[in-house]
Structure 1
């Protein structure tokens, strides 16, 4: 075996290990967003029975408080990571993860729960904007798609873990207080993230932006196949940073029309992914299944299927993403999502309550989630780490992901109300919205497959400055 092949394997192992450590933040993100579906049925019990006495309205408030915190965390973590570095921000977020997990587990009342869920949301949102960026800035172009998708894999794995844990605890322990233990388990990924951050290198692009070129060279040498590859990439990063050095502050970083257009696409993609209704399924699948007459424990067990399908779909997506264009995957996923939502609407509106209806509804949810997590979720997080230029990546990613969390909160808050008022017609409404998303992606979404971050930046500037004609299937797209 040649020295180059040995070096390639060694650098790949290092990058996968870095991604595994960094995505502990994504695991916490997934667990904290998924566990609420198992905890809510117990939290709706009266306080005298061990719950918090939640009503449909306060259920929405509790579920969405984490998401509003996520919007706040994503926005400020993005800016702070540009200033202080991705690693320092992730260490601080790990501490917030731990505080939020403890706070929600011991919350004595509704408003304490809302406040601590908001704090937990800051950590979740901050991790969602920082983890993919750090991985993308460390990864070589040939590894970037799969490594960034590992973040999505850990998100859905965390959600799957939450579903399995919730169903298992509910089955094994006949206690109305079991929901507190469900929430406390979120401490584990928080501790792993904090400890793991001491073994992850600093982003070479951030180091160059701070004038620490020697450190950046050392980092790149350790994570690239050859010294020549590391030197070439370092020169590209230095050249790009020199061009961008005059940018400072929020207005300075966003002072060109092409950047605002790119930011609008990032925000639009957040709308696309959230208004598929994916988190309505993640948070409220037990509620959907109970609408068909299924019992609480049976609904919790059935929800495990959500997590398992999501993990399998994401693994397939990680394999496919370097073979298909980002744009093609997204459009395929949205098309099947629309069909699955129409199917769900038909099942819930036009079939009598029965075991057949329950299983057909569950099958519709699982088909939806399979294509959502294979084609849409991974592509979204990958694009958020790729689309934006180095000098404003943290800021623009933070703004985009912050609005993504606001869209998430709107869906989480409104869905139980829509379901109670409109029933199965709710899914027809989502289908119409997603047809609009298909049109948006067809017209506006660029292709980034196979390009370095610096090449993507140049392509985006050319396209959105109107300096050259852009085609969706441009260089290296397929």
Structure 2
């Protein structure tokens, strides 16, 4: 096997990644753990209600209480995702994760002692607290990993986020079977085991370094950043990383203290923000939660016993783990955009097959097996693309300044969509019956088209190079960059000339785009887009190689108050 793609994966980097993704394992575990003991939890709620009020509670009321226990987790996740950026800036990525474990331990203890206390309100409160914990994890962990990973490994290591989620889901499914903890006596322990990832992270994470980018750019602690890089890279040669961060630091001076509202209103950052949000929606509105909801009944309809169907559902979790492992080396070879397109396309095809199998399963005996195969294939393609890429690419689309705010918005949207699917799916199932998956098919088609048209490839690009892809819609920024690039190759501008060209930008973000594009082309001799600006020139694009300077363009005409 070829391991050249894993150059730079040191022991200490692996240790730091493992310690951090325990937070994503926590997220996966608590997402799936509530499903298996549903009957046991409802029985407990009936018992507590009767002991309090001396009368039986109606089945509909019990179902509402259980639904509250399930959905309040997503409400906590929204809150955690919303404050994730503020926590990352205030306490650091590592510091925020360490503090977050207090919530993990507290929420796990509340859920674990629910039955002993004879108080189902403790379950609600515990699920809410652990939801806040998981919301913070989904914001902090991808941010931390993307900032400590070397450029050539950032995609593969970013996939470890989803791997940890799938392992957590599988673990909750395995422990939740009746032979282990899926009993009236065992379900409190099943829920209380949420303290274990938090405790383990509290033990392992203090040894890990803080994000070097956070240390250098946010805290201005260059020596601490160098020490962190030397440990992560197992080398004293960290100047290339430091220089990249210094370039980002210069950009940070123009975009410091970017709030969510400023991020939303920024013309330069609006496009990557929309992409990040849509990528998160492509994960939650793909129908994967509906597949998990349907899986047991699908396998039962194919002729499996109830017990066998439960084990087959565990098999789905195992497939997700296996396919996520397969996607790790592909992420930095095939690319994020390509894998996401494959994933969405495959899910679209098999969602159609699932609908067909629902419609004619009673007419053709073997059609029920098509639904099983389609379900498994649907999960395979989810693991390849939408399962892991949205978390990773959202962190990649932004530089240090706006990244925390962008992650907060994206994670908030992810949790909101998660909540809406969880609340709305039962009603949608009742209304649409066999056509339940058609809305998801429509969403998948829309997301595929959006990804094909709008999402850039971020493979092997620095954060600054990714930022250079996005520019103002009027083309002014890129035109100034092109004017500067007329000096390449062999006729690089002097420091004074470069500074004059850079200072010609009225907007700080345009200055950053100049630095990013100039550095990218002069260093790597990649191709770059050329666009004319102003009402007198056409807006078409053409591509020229940095190895051959483009023909001179007329200078742009800016209004005096151009921004």
Q: Tell me the secondary structure at the aligned position of residue 136 of structure 2.
A: helix
Aligned to 2:73: 66
Q: Which moved more, 1:280-289 or 1:340-349?
A: 280-289
Deviations 1:433-461 (A, max 9, x none): 21111111111111100112232233335
Find 1:210's aligned residue among 177, 197, 219. Answer: 219
- Partner of residue 102 from structure 2, selected from 67, 70, 95: 95
Check whether the contact 1:49–1:176 (CA below 8 A) recurs between aligned residues. no
1:408 to 2:411 alignment: no
Partner of 2:247: 239
Cα distance in 2 for residues equivalent to 1:463 and 1:36:
47
Q: Is the Cα contact below 8 Å between 1:74 and 1:126 reproduced in 2?
A: yes
Which residue pairs with 2:24 in the alignment? Answer: 26
SS at match of 2:170: helix
Picking from 16, 33, 36, the partner of 1:35 is 33
Partner residue, 1:15:
13
Deviation digits for residues 91-134 of structure 1, max 9, x if unmatched?
12212112112222333455443332121111111101111110
Aligned-pair CA distance for 1:178: 3.0
Deviates more, 1:291-300 or 1:32-41: 291-300
Q: Which residue among 318, 324, 332 is the counterpart of 1:308? A: 318
Larger radius of gyration: 2
CA separation of 1:27/1:345 partners in 2, compared to 1, >3 Å: closer, same or farther? same
Q: Give how far 1:474 is off.
A: 12
On the 8 A contact 1:15/1:223 being kept in 2, the answer is yes
Higher relative contact order (CA 8 A, sep 6+): 1
1:182 and 1:356, CA in 2 relative to 1: closer, same or farther beyond 3 A? farther
Name which of structure 1's ranges 403-412 and 191-200 shifts more when overlaid on structure 2: 191-200
Counterpart-to-counterpart distance in 1, 2:89 and 2:474: 24
More helix by share: 1
- Relative to structure 1, is the Cα distance of residues 41 and 369 closer, same or farther in structure 2, using a 3 angstrom cutoff? farther
Distance 1:82 1:464, change over 3 A: farther
1:390 to partner: Cα distance: 0.6
CA offsets 1:374-403 (integer angstroms, 9 cap, x no match): 222121122022111111211111111111
Corresponding residue of 1:285 = 295
Worse overlay, 151-160 or 217-226 = 217-226
Shift of 1:289: 4.9
Q: Give the one of 458, 461, 465 matched to 1:455.
A: 465
Contact 2:40–2:183 at 8 Å: present in 1 too? Answer: no
CA distance in 1: counterparts of 2:544 and 2:153, whole angstroms:
20
Q: Distance in 2 between matches of 1:80 and 1:15?
A: 23
Question: Residues 218 and 125 (structure 1 numbering): CA distance in 2 closer, same or farther, change over 3 Å?
Answer: same
Q: Is the 8 A contact 2:346 2:378 kept in 1?
A: yes
- The normalised TM-score by structure 2 is 0.76
Instruction: Decide which moves more: 404-413 or 248-257.
Output: 248-257
Contact map agreement 2:267 2:472 (CA 8 A) in 1: no
- What is the rounded CA distance, in whole Å, between the counterparts of 2:415 and 2:295 in structure 1? 20
Partner of 1:361: 371
1:78 aligned to 2:85? yes
Residue 255 of structure 1 deviates from its aligned partner by 5.5
Q: Relative to structure 1, is the Cα distance of residues 13 and 28 closer, same or farther in structure 2, using a 3 angstrom cutoff?
A: same
Unaligned runs of at least 5 residues, structure 1: none
- Does structure 1 residue 117 correspond to structure 2 residue 127? yes
Write the distance in 1 (CA, Å) between the matches of 2:363 and 2:467: 53
CA separation of 1:253/1:338 partners in 2, compared to 1, >3 Å: closer, same or farther?
A: closer
Alpha carbons 1:343, 1:364 under 8 Å: kept: yes
CA deviation map 1:132-157 (0-9, x unaligned): 11011011101111111111111101
Maintained 8 Å contact 2:175/2:181: no
Q: What does residue 327 of structure 1 align with?
A: 337
Cα pair 2:27 2:137 within 8 Å, conserved: yes
Following TM superposition, by how much is the alpha carbon of 1:245 offset from its aligned partner in structure 2, in angstroms? 1.9
Equivalent position SS for 2:35: helix
TM-score (norm 1): 0.88
- Taking the aligned partners of 2:416 and 2:41, their CA distance within structure 1 comes to 24
RMSD after superposition? 3.0
The CA distance in 2 between the partners of 1:317 and 1:427, in whole Å, is 26
